[in-house]
A and B are shown apart, each in its own frame.
Chain A
């Protein structure tokens, strides 16, 4: 199996090299998306299926959509690489050698936080360790990360982009019917992925990515779904952050401490947070992609 790993890493390095060396932007973008997929594969090999799923869906999929949408709005121009000074090469080489040498000293250092995770997993309310870390042990990380996503969307809106203006989506009854048939299925998948996250790989992020795809389809088929003038959509953007912090404050009321759960309520509260987070992540990611699409909507000057 070492050959498989060597090949995979070789491919990843090759694609990374290709991505930064591409002469055309289109090539760089396509290679970047491919790199994301291979990286996801590598992470699956590293026993990190949660991260692999998220990377494939968000890091490669949605990032790819955003990149391609942006690319269409850029004037065609040749990429002229910057010449690099020999001094730069020296520093880069020094940095590289130091890094490689330093990592050699910790190849088999037996440090890990897993024993602590295992000790407290029974009190965490979920049996999947990654979900327990994300939603319980290090909940504030996750809450603030939802805030980063929300603020990135706020920033995009502040830059004058928003999916609210008139658009001409892909029309057609066949598409609309197909989407109508698919949507319940995607909803089901999202709920399943979310539910599964409490005991196996999956959870709010992966579920949110599925929901984002569902919303994008809704919009492409011209079905009502994402008009930000609707209160439900606006509340959906903030829902994840709001619910997360309100539950966090509930922990204070109950005397567990900020961002804490009473052990007997942990499962339910975590599921509540995850549902709100998945909805928010889905809505925010879909809104970001929609707002980035070229030529379909009027742009505020």
Chain B
């Protein structure tokens, strides 16, 4: 039965997405989204398993592997994607082409999270890129087109680097299945080179510093709901790939006690935290601020990966349940908070007909739900106590503590402070009564934007805080 479910995770959104070309779009989108949420939730009840597609066992055939990481990530896509779809459903300014492309993104994400074959991973990456780039280009105007093109170019280059790594792995080991590769893995030069080029390719897709240049434009110029799903979910595809490479596929290489490669990741993550935070602090407009915050948060997730790699070099258990559960938790907290923040920010900008922070004051004060949503998102992203992000941060800090990596411990704390700082720029405007630090410029009349859009943003942000309530169950299940 679960094989039906696994197939549905990919086939369902893909077929309904394709049907948007021949049916009234919303008639195809509704079952596509509902089914996606349903199957993506159901997946949590299935036992971890491998499925050889078509009955052909690797190395000949492709296989799917459902494990804890992919299970929770698929569910995350379903929930954040489902709520974002609700926003899109009510957002009248969204072109109808959104739905087919978005269902394509969804199917590609699920396929990517399931596959255990490095070449198939490449194909899913490309499907994801094509659909995601087109989503960015839904915004009319040269700025969005340029951002979309840049995104496409970086994405294509990343894919090519990844494929180069796949070719090297095939040349060295003659197999493409991740588990078989891991078992055959040797610590030689060509394997290290394959790891390097594949990492580089995925870093470009995940916008890891210094390959982040395309992100602020692409995420800021996109339609609101597109920004939300790109920042919350699509970025995570690259990060998930990095997790698979460093802690699974290449684990025999990366977990050698003298391996120092993890520190390169840690360093890049650190620079991303500070650079992204700094840019978010000084950018003049709201959505770019949120986009730069994504650059910083990607840094946090990469830093976490680096600490996990370091942990596996010190004890031989490999990718333990505590490790991956912590990382997935952090990813989930970020995805929920970032989706909520972007949706709230976009709603406020729509209301104001304006993007600069300085001109948003009145719109912010007339959008209490959105301001509340942004406040909760900042709370969770900064990891303030009692939020879902707090548990993630706590896990990260205790990991650094165990490793006695004081420097990285300090970095993650400073990252939280930076998040509060740039978050406060927005909240200050929304909470002040008109004579705040930044003067309110004269306003054009506000656009009417339905309050239910603010409400969807608030639900996502609230989940990024209240998710902490699920912490006991999540962590205990892992222990």
A-facing mask of B52-72, CB < 8 A → 1, else 0?
111110011110000000000
Q: Which residue of A lies closest to B100 (CB)?
A: A154
Q: In the docked arrangement, what's the CA distance between A117 and B119, Å?
A: 17
Most buried by B among A249, A251, A257, A261: A257
Residues of chain A with a CB closer than 8 A to B56's CB: 120, 136-137, 260
Q: A113-B60, A141-B62, A248-B11 are in contact. Are A260 and B55 (CB under 8 A)?
A: yes
Q: A242: CB under 8 A from chain B? A: yes
Q: In the docked arrangement, what's the CA distance between A241 and B190, Å?
A: 37
B3 touches A258 (CB 8 A): yes
* B187 CB to nearest A CB, Å: 13
Contact-residue size bin, chain B (C-beta under 8 Å from the other chain): 35 or more
A105 touches B189 (CB 8 A): yes
Q: Which of B11, B54, B188 contacts A139 (CB 8 A)?
A: B54
Q: A82: CB under 8 A from chain B? A: no
One of A28-36, A43-51, A57-65, A145-153 contacting the partner: A145-153
Residues of chain A with a CB closer than 8 A to B18's CB: 147, 150, 238, 241-242
* A289 CB to nearest B CB, Å: 18
Q: B193: CB under 8 A from chain A? A: yes
A-facing mask of B144-185, CB < 8 A → 1, else 0?
000000000000000000000000101111110000000000
Q: A155: CB under 8 A from chain B? A: yes
Q: A99-B193, A154-B21 are in contact. Are A259 and B53 (CB under 8 A)?
A: yes
Q: In the docked arrangement, what's the CA distance between A151 and B135, Å?
A: 11
Q: A297: CB under 8 A from chain B? A: no
Q: A101-B189, A238-B19, A252-B7 are in contact. Are A258 and B62 (CB under 8 A)?
A: no
Q: Which of B4, B22, B126, B175 contacts A231 (CB 8 A)?
A: B22
Q: B104: CB under 8 A from chain A? A: yes
- Interface residues in A, total, Cβ within 8 A: 50
B-facing mask of A222-235, CB < 8 A → 1, else 0?
00000000010011
A241 touches B14 (CB 8 A): yes
Q: A102-B190, A112-B174, A251-B54 are in contact. Are A155 and B137 (CB under 8 A)?
A: yes
A113 touches B137 (CB 8 A): no
Q: Which residue of A lies closest to B4 (CB)?
A: A252
Q: A102-B168, A259-B54 are in contact. Are A141 and B7 (CB under 8 A)?
A: no
* B258 CB to nearest A CB, Å: 20
A151 touches B134 (CB 8 A): yes
What would be 5 A-B contacts, judged by CB atoms less than 8 Å apart? A111-B174, A155-B133, A249-B11, A257-B52, A260-B53
Residues in A lying within 8 Å of B, measured CB to CB? 98-99, 101-103, 105-106, 109, 111-113, 116-117, 120, 136-141, 144-145, 147-148, 150-152, 154-155, 157-159, 231, 234-235, 237-238, 241-242, 245, 248-249, 251-252, 256-261
- 4 extra interface residue pairs, beta carbon distance < 8 Å, beyond A106-B168, A111-B175, A257-B54: A144-B127, A257-B3, A257-B51, A260-B53
